[in-house]
């Protein structure tokens, strides 16, 4: 009876899967499938529950630190498609840039586009509404060297979003704008990983778009 009740609850909830790298992972306990970490995923989940108290949500965090688009492709079927989500938040791309400098491994724009499109294709077959979070890099430390490669990858993401009619969360563009007058350290610890304020900002940008579907 307990198993039947559990299955019924899962079937009737509005399920949102967050799929990405360390920015999504944000300290989640991999041994606990229900753990949301301490970053933008947890903040967004809490705010959505307050905004829609009559909606039963199921939130799933499937962020893994250090992963590139190619790595996400290896687990998209298990971690996203198998969950049968209603909404999916895809956050990836910065490690495709970072690996050039940390490991000397180049991800070409052609490879990035192929990987990203394959992720979108796999997720889209679930029928879930898909939201794309831009990778970003703030003017901190050595992260400025990421900029030319990041710009190219974000151009590809924008193109894919436009071609497929998907919702783009332009975090890179917005963070770049707000940090013209505010210390970037308010939003990120190292130019990539967000502070609590940065996580709140990302969560609010995402909720703004999710509300258009939930209301």
Q: Is the pLDDT of residue 96 over 50?
A: yes
What does the pLDDT read at residue 11?
60
Do the domain assignments include residue 19? yes
Within-domain flag for 30: yes
6 located within any domain: no
Mean pLDDT over 153-170 rounds to 98
The Cβ of residue 5 has, within 10 Å, a number of other Cβ atoms equal to 9
What percentage of the chain reaches a pLDDT higher than 90? 93
Q: Which residue segment(s) compose the domain that 129 sits in? A: 11-214
Is 183 inside a domain boundary?
A: yes
Tell me if 2 is assigned to some domain. Answer: no
Q: Where are the alpha helices (DSSP H) in the chain?
A: 2-12, 22-25, 40-51, 69-79, 94-102, 109-124, 147-164, 171-178, 196-214
Q: Give the integer Cα–Cα distance in Å for 189 and 206.
A: 21
Chain-wide mean pLDDT for the chain? 94
**Residue 16 belongs to some domain of the structure:** yes
Q: 75: which 2 tokens?
A: 């687990």
Residue 174 lies in a domain: yes
For the chain, the domain total comes to 1
User: Is residue 42 assigned to a domain?
Assistant: yes
- pTM, 2 dp: 0.94
The CATH number that applies at residue 38 is 3.40.50.1110
Q: State the pLDDT at residue 88.
A: 98
- What is the arithmetic mean of pLDDT over 58-83? 98
What is the 3-state secondary structure of 17-46? EEEECHHHHCCCCCCCCCCCCCCHHHHHHH
């Amino acid at each position: 009876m307990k198993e039947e009740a559990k299955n019924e609850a899962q079937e009737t909830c509005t399920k949102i899967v967050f799929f990405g790298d360390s920015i999504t992972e944000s300290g989640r306990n991999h041994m606990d499938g229900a753990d949301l970490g301490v970053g933008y995923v947890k903040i967004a989940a809490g705010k959505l529950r307050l905004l829609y108290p009559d909606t039963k949500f199921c939130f799933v965090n499937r962020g893994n630190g250090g992963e590139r688009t190619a790595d996400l492709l290896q687990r998209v079927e298990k971690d996203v498609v198998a969950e049968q989500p209603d909404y999916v938040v895809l956050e990836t791309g910065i490690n495709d840039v970072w690996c050039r400098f940390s490991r000397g491994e180049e991800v070409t724009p052609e490879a990035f586009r192929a990987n990203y499109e394959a992720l979108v294709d796999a997720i889209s077959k679930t029928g879930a509404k898909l939201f794309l979070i831009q990778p970003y890099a703030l003017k901190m430390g050595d992260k400025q060297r990421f900029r030319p490669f990041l710009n190219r990858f974000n151009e590809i993401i924008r193109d894919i979003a436009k071609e497929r009619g998907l919702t783009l969360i332009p975090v890179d563009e917005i963070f770049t704008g707000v940090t013209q007058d505010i210390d970037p350290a308010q939003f990120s610890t190292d130019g990539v990983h967000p502070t609590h304020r940065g996580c709140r900002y990302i969560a609010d940008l995402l909720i703004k778009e999710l509300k258009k579907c939930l209301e």
